[in-house]
Amino acid sequence: MDVNLSGAVTLPSITVPMSEALSPYAQQFYASFLHMAPGNLVRNEDETWDDARNRWKGVWDLLVAQARGVFPVAIQRDVIAGVNVDVISPSGDAAAAAGTSRIVLFAHAGAFCNGQGAISEAIGLSSVANIKVISIDYSLAPESKFPTQINQILAVYQALLKQQKPESIALVGTSAGGQLMQMAVTRMISEDIPRPAALALFSAGLSQVLSPSGSRGDTGHYAAALEGYVFYGGATPTPLATDLTVFLGDVDPCSPSVAPLFSPEILAQFPPTVFLGGGRDETLSTVLCSHRALLAAGVPAELHVWEGLCHGWWLAAALPEAVDAFGTVRKFFDRYQR
């Protein structure tokens, strides 16, 4: 091991075995996924954006098929306020028990530029939490940049407010979708739009970076390495190059509209929020800092981290750990949704 004068630590080559805390199912899935993921989630230099999305489409379809094979739900394509959505409802006996107006508004993962159809965890959440989930099929970057996606989320949310109390609506997002949802809440605060009952962020904090230099903290280095850089085709995920500039363009990634983590006055107006992460999640540092910041601002907040799991692992919605995560969200929402 070497430590330089700035405090940077260089570690020798080490082998890290899979965590024995994982369920056997998770161990099997995780090992196979590290080898089957089709390279860069964003885009290789020699391909178009559509080519990159087509490369990943089979993964999203597989994950959705696995979720549908386990969780009884009904899925209907719809349009709300001009935005395409998937409406996911519990089926069978669960539907009879779901005599409630409570709704979850969901935004999928995909580094802002991929992931259409990636609704596997929305399926799991709908079934386990026994709640209707509306998944927003938001426009993708770079063809559509910030704040297009925020406008779409707010359009759907405000359409729902014509029929629902804000206390009956909760927001959920995974990875990039979580970032979009927290940005939508920030807009609600700035425009005095009634805020939802609660917010759940999977593998997402209240910023993409921890400083103007683009640092994502410790886990942006060591946790990403433990993931095998599975989402970036074996290349180190550079903090600003892989997705933020594609999505934000010239917008400052530390500005209040993008990163309320740095604005205590905005944080104090956030709804109750639950953060969910994994021990090998490259975003875990921002998740940890975001949780502490909300607590400091006086906002009810919870943090749940599962040992040994990577970024966005609940996309494999049938994992026992994922079912546990969906149940955790349900318990949190039960305290705040009306």
Rounded to two decimals, the pTM is 0.93
| The pairing of beta strand 83-90 with beta strand 73-80 | antiparallel
pLDDT by 10s per residue, the chain, length 338: 676 777 777 777 888 888 999 999 999 887 777 666 777 778 887 889 999 999 999 999 999 999 999 999 999 999 999 999 999 999 855 444 455 689 999 999 999 999 999 999 999 999 999 999 999 999 999 999 999 999 999 999 999 999 999 999 999 999 999 999 999 999 999 999 999 999 999 999 999 888 887 788 888 877 877 776 555 555 555 433 456 788 999 999 999 999 999 999 999 999 999 999 999 898 999 999 999 999 999 999 999 999 999 888 889 999 999 999 999 999 999 999 99
Domains and CATH numbers, the chain: 44-336 (3.40.50.1820)
User: What does the alpha-carbon distance between residue 94 and residue 71 come to, in Å, rounded to a whole number?
Assistant: 11
Render 235-291 in DSSP notation, one character per residue.
S---TTTTTHHHHHTTS-TTSTTT-GGG-HHHHTTPPPEEEEEEEE-TTHHHHHHHH
